[in-house]
Amino acid sequence: MKNPEMRIGIDLGGTKIEALAIDSKGAELVRHRIHTPRDDYDATIAAMVGLVHLIEKETGRVGTVGAGIPGSISSVSGLVKNANSTWLNGRPLHRDLTAALGREVRVANDANCLAVSEATDGAAAGKRVVFGVILGTGCGGGVAIDGHVHAGPNGVGGEWGHNPLPWPKETENPGPRCYCGKQGCMEMWISGTGVALDYKNVTGKQKTAREIMADFETGEGDAVAAVERLEDRLARGLANVINMLDPDVFVVGGGLSKTSHLYQALPELLPKYVFGREVATPVLQAKYGDSSGVRGAAWLWPSI
């Protein structure tokens, strides 16, 4: 049975692929998650198609399909670029997925999907310009305007993670080398990977970002200092976004977004760096957490 009121979203991550279906009011109908076939492009396409077919079989409906990916589609070549899941780069994922499913598929950057999700019915509902921040293994950013993705003609709208850390201190210059080939990118300072690297460089001890955050909650000194450095760097990066875009709200997702202290510290730190030293922009935790990306992919079809 064909039902155009069902929207299917796919979140293609480096380690997992998640898919869900929602109805016209955003209520979840079904959800599935599988491991990503790493370094295998054809198997990745097949896995995404398989999830769509599984959802449609279970619901007895045929829905629209949107996909969030860790990169963007080049408007020049139609190929994936800037994906940290590097086996996707240079591939016609949009065309291949559309052909395999026999219907139009809308594809957007995963951080843009987070922004759309939260702007539609999440923490930023009702706000016109939403800047979505993903603080996970990597660092992403996305922009939604009036509930729609703003990717820009180059497909890099909101890609603040590959801008340099603003106002670097002597000890932060030139900064760690990023997978993009440059040094000192925001991603290498404020992502889970960056926090763990900074902690190791300062203390000589190797811990994951999750372990550091757990130690922070107990008040352990090295972890407290690491989180304070993270918060200051994050404030500098967000201040740069305010100076350029001045969004109505920041919404933060990803593993590090669960650190509640961020939402106390950032409002105090931001005025130190924003031009004019006045900040009325709230910084909010994503309402849908890890589900924001996949919900946003579904909402790439805002009306059917």
For residue range 240-259, list pLDDT tens digits in order.
Answer: 999 999 999 999 998 899 99
- For residue 24, the enclosing domain spans 7-109+291-298
pLDDT of residue 4: 55
Question: Does the structure show a pLDDT above 50 at 291?
Answer: yes
Domain total in the chain = 2
Burial of residue 2 (CB within 10 Å: 0-12, 13-18, 19+) is: exposed
Tell me, yes or no, whether 155 and 277 share the same domain.
yes
55-59, 148-152, 223-227 — which is least confidently predicted? 148-152
Tell me, yes or no, whether 59 and 168 share the same domain.
no
Q: Determine, yes or no, domain membership for 48.
A: yes
Tell me, yes or no, whether 41 and 169 share the same domain.
no
Out of 58-62, 84-88, 288-292, give the one with best mean pLDDT: 58-62
Tell me, yes or no, whether 160 and 185 share the same domain.
yes
Question: Does the structure show a pLDDT above 90 at 80?
Answer: yes
Give mean pLDDT, residues 177-195: 93
Tell me, yes or no, whether 132 and 177 share the same domain.
yes
Question: Does the structure show a pLDDT above 90 at 45?
Answer: yes
Tell me, yes or no, whether 148 and 245 share the same domain.
yes
Q: Determine, yes or no, domain membership for 1.
A: no
Tell me, yes or no, whether 212 and 105 share the same domain.
no
**13: CATH:** 3.30.420.40
Question: Does the structure show a pLDDT above 50 at 153?
Answer: yes
Tell me, yes or no, whether 66 and 188 share the same domain.
no
Q: Determine, yes or no, domain membership for 171.
A: yes
Positive or negative: CA dihedral 179, 185, 186, 189:
positive
Strands (E), 136-176: 139-145, 148-149
Q: Determine, yes or no, domain membership for 118.
A: no
Distance CA 159, CA 149 (A): 13
Q: What angle do CA 2, 288, 9 make, to 5 degrees?
A: 30
Tell me, yes or no, whether 88 and 138 share the same domain.
no
User: Is the previous residue joined to 174 through a cis bond, with omega within 30 degrees of 0?
Assistant: yes
Q: Determine, yes or no, domain membership for 137.
A: yes
Q: Determine, yes or no, domain membership for 188.
A: yes
Q: How confident is the model at residue 69 (pLDDT cuts 50, 70, 90)?
A: very high
Distance CA 47, CA 19 (A): 10
- pTM of the full predicted structure? 0.87
pLDDT of residue 304: 60
Tell me, yes or no, whether 104 and 247 share the same domain.
no
Tell me, yes or no, whether 48 and 149 share the same domain.
no
State percent of the chain over pLDDT 90. 81
Question: Does the structure show a pLDDT above 50 at 158?
Answer: yes
Distance CA 39, CA 136 (A): 20
